Chains A and B, each alone.
Chain A
Amino acid sequence: MLPNRSRLSVLVFLLPPLLLYGVAVLFPILQSLFLSFFSWNGISDMEFVGFANYVHMLTGDGVFWRSFFNALGYLAICLVLQLGGALFVASLLTSLRRGRELVKTLYLLPAVISTVAIAFLFVRIYSIDPVGLLNQVLGWIGLGSLERPWLSDVNTVLAAVSAPEGWRFTGLYMLIIYAALLAVPQELEEAARLDGANRWQLFTKIRFPHIRPVWITTTIMATTYGLRGFDIPYLMTNGGPGQSSELLTTYMYKTAFTSTDFGYASTISVFIVVECLVAVGFILLMLKRKADA
């Protein structure tokens, strides 16, 4: 317990960031909530419509549901690439004796490249005419039958726009998980090894339980970023062809700024906020239950 004086000073120091948070985060969310009950195109009179936007979104809008399921697919691919890839690379790194710094830097590099550059880079990689890197490589290794315009094919486009986002942040999560792995006490691992534990057991019984708190944090970070993913899909395909790579975020953006339906766009944004909160709660619940078990 802090003495009174320092508790006051803590409050004084916390107040400005809290106010900033209120203005920059809470206020817009509440404003969206408020707007979601209106029909408003920016220049018309605001018309109160009650829950009509929500009813339309949940029962009458096929594009919304398509975008929702696309967003889940996008999230799944991003999570596998980011968390799976990060854990895999970080584990390998710990067993690497030389060149760790170089590998770390190389993996982290995509995270510092601008999004627009990444989007353009991957548009070229996936291109078929002129032949891009991916199709060229497929041709070289005898898989020419798989060559296709990856971003124009409705069956591949979602995976194609998810991969760059996953690739981009793998290095960042790798770094966090690697730091956590380094903190696992060596004595425990040695003791386990002496008791005859193999590498898999070492990982599941010693290392992973130790990095669980960090794992929870990274999972929450990756999930919420994934659910809010916008820039790369928007830049690469603008949600197309059709709605094949439309995410909730790109759909919301278009509803607001192309259709100028600010009321309905706010409804979608409220859904995204709720969806992120539910996802975080779900992750916490799942991982906590596992830890308790």
Chain B
Amino acid sequence: MKKLIRTAAVAAAAALALSACGGGGAGSASNVNPTGDIKPRQISWLLSRPADGAVINIMKKIADEYAQTHPGFSLNLITTPDRPSYIQKYETLAAANKLPELFDTDATPFAQQLAKQGKMVDAEKLLKDLGVYDTYRTNALNYQRFDDGSLYMIPFQFELEYFWYNKALFQQAGVSVPKSLDDIPAMCTALRKAGITPLALDGQDQWPLERYVSYQPFRDAGPDFVQKLKKGDAKFSDATGQKTVNWISQLGGAGCFQDGFSSQGYSDAQNLFTSGKAAMYNIGTWELPSLATDKLNPAVRNDVDYFTLPATPSSATAANEYVATSGIGMAVNSKTFDPLVSDFLKFALAKYPSEYAATGALSPTTNVQTTIPANATPLYKKAIDQAQDLGTKLAMPWDTQLDPTTNSRLQQELVLLAQGNIKPAEFTSTMDSTIAQNAPKFFK
């Protein structure tokens, strides 16, 4: 028996060693101009975007056009819209060295390790080589950059995040648009008194609550705070950290979020707002079709407006600087990068912006204008035009910044803090020790 176990262990070790070493051969990340003939074949894109969304529909169309002049070419789109499931799939494939030609990723510490190992093509060089680099919005590219400024992902969208609110409900409760973040807890108390749910929150997906923890530090100390926090150079016990911890606790205490928010999902939160039960809803411009067109419930359609992340004159960031993301980016696998992939990207990236803007969305580039849909309310144009007046500092979503273990712990502890299950002091010590324990593994 002992012998058997030993043999099996050796076999296990050998298999692991083989899988770890096998299929290495990462191509060079900086060679953006592969030479040779274009040999059409099927290429795959592992992505995390809505199955019938604009990006997928447009890329399918573009791929079909490309296939007409390149018989044998096809683009296989493998989408997993649910982000946590997608990340698991992508990280497992990365571990097995089986990533396809194109794959989606945020600028996470994990992705940065992949980039450092030369597994992704340098997107800055690639976009410059394809002659489209200058057409991109600076903010759209900056969102995709790693801490060191390097760029390995190509953006396909550009979204601004607002606080949508219901004017009628505000009036009913006698509250007005907040002048600073510190006004919000008192507003919640007033709204609750009037029997209105102040903020609709998708607690199940966890990232929406995590946005809130990033707001105070962004206004108080600027975008650098999270960069320092994630490495343990700044702490939740610092003045800025304490400000956000106490604020979340106050939001919870004032009943800002709907009862049982932690088990309510994306559509629950949206329904709460669009049915006129909740006064505010913090979401991005990707929801414009449901918030600013005739698809919106007629009972609230004319009452909906938005405000951007409140700022005061003493804030470290300006009023026109808030969360603006270019969504999950697309990375190009350096191992499979060849003349065909390069040629297809050149073809696709040239055509994509105009097609995308025609759907009523904000393109990540500045060379096209968004078409306002025929069924849009006046709010649609206002929300789109807001992109023209955008500052240079971005509020980065923290879930793309922190190491994954700290991030999951933060998401869990935030719910407890907002529900009043733990006190700010407990939250602070748990999170600071979690960061101290996990950050060094990712940010050596």
A residues 21-57 in Cβ contact with B at 8 Å: 22, 26-27, 30-31, 33-35, 39, 41-44, 46
A236–B119 Cα distance when bound, in Å, is 36
Contact partner of B262 (CB less than 8 A), chosen from A27, A31, A152, is A152
For the complex, what is the distance from the CA of A63 to the CA of B408, rounded to whole Å?
12
Asked whether any CB of chain A lies closer than 8 Å to the CB of B312, the reply is no
- Asked if A262 lies at the interface with its beta carbon under 8 angstroms from chain B, I say yes
Q: Which residues of B contact A144 (CB under 8 A)?
A: none
List the A side residues contacting B203 at CB < 8 Å.
152
Evaluate whether A154 and B421 lie within 8 angstroms (CB atoms) in the complex, with A239-B412, A242-B412, A261-B405 already known.
yes
Per-position 1/0 for B1-19, Cβ under 8 A of A? 0000100110111011000
Nearest chain-A residue to B5 (Cβ)? A30
Contact across chains for B20 and A46 when beta carbons are under 8 A apart: yes
* Shortest beta-carbon distance from A125 to chain B in Å: 11
Contact stretch, chosen from A11-19, A84-92, A126-134, A276-284:
A126-134
The minimal Cβ–Cβ distance linking A165 to chain B, given in whole angstroms, is 17
A217 at the interface (CB under 8 A from B): no
CA A149 to CA B261, docked complex, whole Å: 9
* Stretch of B53-61, B91-99, B125-133, B149-157 lying at the A interface: B91-99
Query: Which residue of B8, B84, B92 has the most chain A CB atoms within 10 A of its CB atom?
Result: B8
Asked whether, in the complex, the Cβ of A242 is within 8 Å of the Cβ of B421, the reply is yes
Q: Which residues of B contact A26 (CB under 8 A)?
A: 8
CB atoms of B12 and A30 under 8 A apart: yes
Interface membership of B258, Cβ < 8 A: yes
Q: Is the CB of B259 within 8 A of A128?
A: yes
Binary interface profile of B, 78-122, with partner A (CB < 8 Å = 1, else 0)? Answer: 000000100110011011000000000000001001100101000
In the complex, chain A residues whose CB is within 8 Å of the CB of B413: 242
Which A214-243 residues sit within 8 Å CB-CB of chain B?
Answer: 236-243
Q: Least Cβ distance of B341 to chain A in Å? A: 22
Contact at B263–A236, with CB atoms within 8 Å?
Answer: yes
CA distance A154 to B16 in the complex (A): 41
B84 in contact with A35 (CB, 8 Å): no
The verdict on A158 contacting chain B, using a C-beta distance below 8 Å, is no
| A260 interface residue per 8 A CB criterion | yes
Given A46-B20, A260-B110, residue A240 in contact with residue B262 (CB < 8 A) = yes
Q: Given the complex, which residues of A lie within 8 Å of B95, measured CB to CB?
A: 41-43, 260, 262
Chain A residues with CB below 8 A from B113, complex form: 41, 43-44
**Contact call A43/B117, Cβ cutoff below 8 A:** yes
Kindly state the separation between the CA atoms of A87 and B123 in the bound complex, as whole angstroms. 64
Closest chain A residue to B20, Cβ basis = A46
Q: Which residues of B contact A259 (CB under 8 A)?
A: 404-405, 408, 438
Shortest C-beta distance, A52 to chain B (Å), equals: 13
Contact at A128–B260, with CB atoms within 8 Å? Answer: yes
Binary interface profile of B, 401-444, with partner A (CB < 8 Å = 1, else 0)? 00011001100110110010110000000000000001001000
Q: Which of B12, B91, B206, B263 has a CB less than 8 Å from the CB of A152?
A: B263
CA distance A238 to B415 in the complex (A): 12
A257 within 8 A of B: yes
Question: Is B204 interfacial (CB-CB < 8 Å)?
Answer: yes
> Shortest distance in angstroms between B12's beta carbon and chain A's nearest beta carbon?
5
The CA of A240 and the CA of B84, in the complex, are separated in Å by: 15
In the complex, A34 Cα to B413 Cα: how many Å? 32
Asked if B259 contacts A27 (CB within 8 A), the reply is no
Do A258 and B84 contact each other (CB < 8 Å), given the known contacts A43-B114, A154-B416?
Answer: yes
Sample of 22 A–B contacts (CB below 8 Å) = A30-B5, A30-B12, A31-B16, A41-B95, A41-B113, A42-B92, A43-B114, A44-B113, A63-B409, A126-B263, A148-B260, A151-B260, A152-B203, A152-B259, A238-B206, A240-B412, A241-B419, A242-B412, A242-B421, A257-B88, A258-B84, A259-B405
A-B pairs, 7 with minimum CB distance: A149-B260, A42-B95, A151-B263, A257-B88, A242-B416, A259-B405, A152-B260
State the B residues within 8 Å of A (CB). 5, 8-9, 11-13, 15-16, 20, 84, 87-88, 91-92, 94-95, 110, 113-114, 117, 119, 197, 203-204, 206, 258-264, 272, 404-405, 408-409, 412-413, 415-416, 419, 421-422, 438, 441
